[in-house]
């Protein structure tokens, strides 16, 4: 879709793909006014890139099936991984259509990544907080900076483009980067998911550096096994050149795997062992985390509003990335103090009866374990949890999450969390296989009701964790988005909890 009046000749795009016009079919040097892969979004003058992708949320689409629609809507040329028979319009045949989509969008938008210092952030948990924190520190110290990720694209704390995926389709990334360049943004922090790396959604983007927040089991429904999942994550670091930097959590699983064999300078962050950036004298509480950061023999006091010991790693990663881009350690550490928690990430809400609700996006075993351990460290009178597991996703993590919840929480409510096309009761049954202490287990598929039931037995000093959806504003039931918000449900808890048995 042409958003800015840009125009390129097809020959320019073909050259960027390392090809010559003679290698194309029915070649004519037509004028390209946009690059698109979603047939319904094609505009006259577009190059239609024929890829198999999640072109709509959770809906895998076969690109070849939509060529006719794209041509009807005015596409002047087609890019595909296989020849298209009986087509009069030019089409470019490539070995990897997803990569070619990114490279075509890059040349169309005149390589905006060359003008912006981009930090890619990946990891099983903590991507959103770390990305936004990097942007916050850079903005505080160096001026205009953007963050891009699950919560959309933000500049100066203002959302200018809502999010749909953690990492958008390749051509959307370049549209966003081109917009940032036009607005004078010099730095951007971008969440880079394992899906995006596997599906080449960041093809061609030059990253100044990358951060690994942590690594543990997730998304095995997509990657198949943990080795493939790790390999997808490492692609972000393997593509860095020797002028770049790789910030890696030295305390996380498979640290050696991610560190070894990189061209970029490696900067390690750790709490439990030796690292370049370290944290000591850690204090955590309901108001945030405080610690002393160490870097090159010097100490820097860090005050943060982020709740939980695990946030120390996110902060260290942000400090390391910001200083690698030229921010002084003193300025970086000072900037952390006024950074607000990301929506749905360890968000604390005082309840009318003196209890506290914690809303968190934790939706995998490691994330749930961290949230519950950190909430237990707050020394609540009792720790309660409401959570579920997503439908049409990794079945193996369900009993694991049930076990973790049973071990750490005093009372557990099993409920729905984006059941998609699965039966919520069947998902809950899978979770229950890992649960112990059945006398402290409650089943309520209706998530809003589960929250109210859990709140009804809380008392002053209790902590109620509501995990899995975080910032999300809908439940995915079947293929329908049903409006729903954990935050909205918590804010409805206006009256003191009723007395049990009253």
pLDDT value at position 62?
Answer: 67
If you search the block for the tokens 């089943």, which residue do you land on?
Answer: 443
CATH architecture of 8-108: 3-Layer(aba) Sandwich (3.40)
Dihedral-angle region of residue 157 (phi above 0 means left; psi in -120 to 50 means alpha; beta otherwise): left
Contact 110, 33 (CB under 8 A): no
pLDDT at 374 over 90: no
pLDDT at 63 over 90: no
Percent of all residues in the chain with a pLDDT value above 90, rounded to a whole number: 77
Q: Provide the Cα torsion 140, 141, 147, 151; round to 10°.
A: -30
CATH dotted code for 347-491: 3.90.190.20
Taking residues 268-279, report their average pLDDT: 93
Q: Which CATH class is domain 112-338?
A: alpha beta
pLDDT at 65 over 80: no
Domain boundaries, the chain: 8-108, 112-338, 347-491
pLDDT value at position 142?
Answer: 92
Which structure tokens are listed for 482? 């049903």
pLDDT value at position 57?
Answer: 47
Taking residues 297-325, report their average pLDDT: 95
This prediction has a pTM of 0.82
Q: What is the DSSP string of 125-137?
A: S-HHHHHHHHHHH
- Give the pLDDT band of residue 143 (cuts 50, 70, 90): confident
Count the alpha carbons within 13 Å of 415 in the hemisphere toward its beta carbon. 23
- Output the 3-class SS for 425-487: HHHHHHHHCCCCCHHHEEECCCHHHHHHHHHHCCCCCCEEEEECCCCCCEEEECCEEEECCHH
**Mean pLDDT, all residues of the chain:** 92
User: In terms of C-beta density within 10 A (0-12 exposed, 13-18 middle, 19 or more buried), how is residue 305 classed?
Assistant: middle
C-alpha distances (whole Å) from 228 to each of 144, 203, 288 are: 37, 19, 36
pLDDT at 450 over 70: yes
pLDDT at 196 over 60: yes
pLDDT value at position 59?
Answer: 57
Task: Please write the tens of the pLDDT for every residue from 33-60.
Answer: 999 998 889 999 999 999 887 555 455 5
Contact 260, 237 (CB under 8 A): no
Listed residue (247, 271, 434, 387) closest to 325, CA to CA: 247
Task: Please write the tens of the pLDDT for every residue from 75-105.
Answer: 999 999 988 876 788 999 999 999 999 999 9
3-state secondary structure of 63: helix
Task: Please write the tens of the pLDDT for every residue from 342-353.
Answer: 888 889 899 999
Distance between CA 458 and CA 21 in Å, rounded? 70
- Give the pLDDT band of residue 221 (cuts 50, 70, 90): confident
pLDDT value at position 494?
Answer: 61
Task: Please write the tens of the pLDDT for every residue from 387-437.
Answer: 999 999 889 999 999 999 999 999 999 999 999 999 999 999 999 999 998
For CA atoms 474, 349, 465, 413, the dihedral sign is negative
For 23, which DSSP code? Answer: G
Q: 346 or 499: whose pLDDT is higher? A: 346
């Amino acid at each position: 879709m042409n958003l800015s009046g840009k125009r390129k000749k097809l020959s320019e795009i073909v050259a960027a793909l390392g090809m010559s016009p003679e290698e194309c079919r029915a070649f004519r040097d037509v004028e390209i006014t946009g690059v698109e892969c979603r047939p319904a979004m094609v505009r006259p003058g577009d190059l239609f890139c024929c890829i198999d992708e999640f072109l709509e949320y959770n809906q895998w689409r076969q690109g070849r099936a939509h060529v006719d629609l794209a041509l009807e809507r005015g596409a002047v040329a087609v890019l595909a991984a296989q020849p298209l028979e009986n087509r009069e319009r030019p089409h470019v045949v490539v070995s990897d259509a997803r990569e070619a989509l990114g490279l075509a969008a890059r040349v169309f938008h005149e390589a905006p990544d060359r003008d912006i210092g981009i930090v890619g952030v990946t990891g099983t948990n903590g991507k959103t907080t770390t990305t936004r924190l990097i942007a916050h520190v850079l903005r505080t110290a160096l001026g205009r900076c953007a963050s891009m990720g699950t919560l959309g694209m933000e500049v100066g704390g203002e959302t200018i483009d809502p999010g749909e995926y953690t990492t958008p389709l390749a051509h959307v990334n370049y549209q966003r980067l081109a917009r940032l360049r036009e607005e004078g943004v010099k730095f951007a922090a971008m969440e880079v998911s394992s899906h995006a790396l596997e599906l080449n959604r960041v093809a061609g983007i030059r990253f100044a550096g990358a951060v690994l927040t942590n690594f543990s089991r997730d998304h095995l429904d997509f990657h198949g096994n943990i080795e493939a999942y790790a390999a997808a994550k490492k692609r972000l670091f393997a593509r860095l050149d020797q002028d770049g930097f790789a910030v890696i959590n030295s305390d996380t699983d498979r640290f050696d795997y991610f560190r070894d064999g990189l061209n970029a300078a490696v900067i390690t962050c750790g709490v439990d062992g030796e690292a370049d950036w370290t944290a000591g004298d850690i204090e955590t509480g309901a108001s945030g985390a405080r610690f002393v950061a160490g870097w090159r023999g010097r100490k820097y006091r860090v005050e943060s509003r982020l709740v939980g010991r695990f946030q120390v790693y996110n902060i260290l990663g942000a400090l390391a990335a910001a200083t690698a881009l030229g921010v002084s350690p003193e300025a970086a550490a000072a900037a952390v103090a006024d950074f607000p928690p990301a929506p749905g990430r360890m968000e604390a809400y005082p309840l009318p009866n003196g209890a506290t609700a914690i809303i968190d996006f934790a939706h995998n075993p490691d994330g749930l374990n961290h949230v519950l351990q950190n909430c237990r460290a707050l020394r609540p009178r009792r720790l309660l949890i409401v959570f579920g597991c997503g439908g049409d996703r990794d079945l193996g993590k369900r009993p694991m999450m049930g076990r973790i919840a049973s071990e750490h929480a005093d009372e557990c409510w099993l409920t729905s969390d984006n059941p998609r096309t699965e039966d919520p009761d069947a998902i809950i049954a899978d979770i229950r296989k890992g649960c112990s202490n059945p006398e402290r287990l409650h089943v309520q598929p209706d998530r809003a009701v589960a929250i109210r039931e859990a709140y009804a037995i809380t008392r002053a000093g209790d902590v109620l964790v509501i995990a899995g959806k975080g910032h999300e504003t809908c439940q995915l039931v079947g293929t329908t988005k049903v409006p729903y918000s954990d935050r909205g449900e918590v804010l409805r808890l206006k009256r003191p909890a009723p007395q049990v048995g009253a």
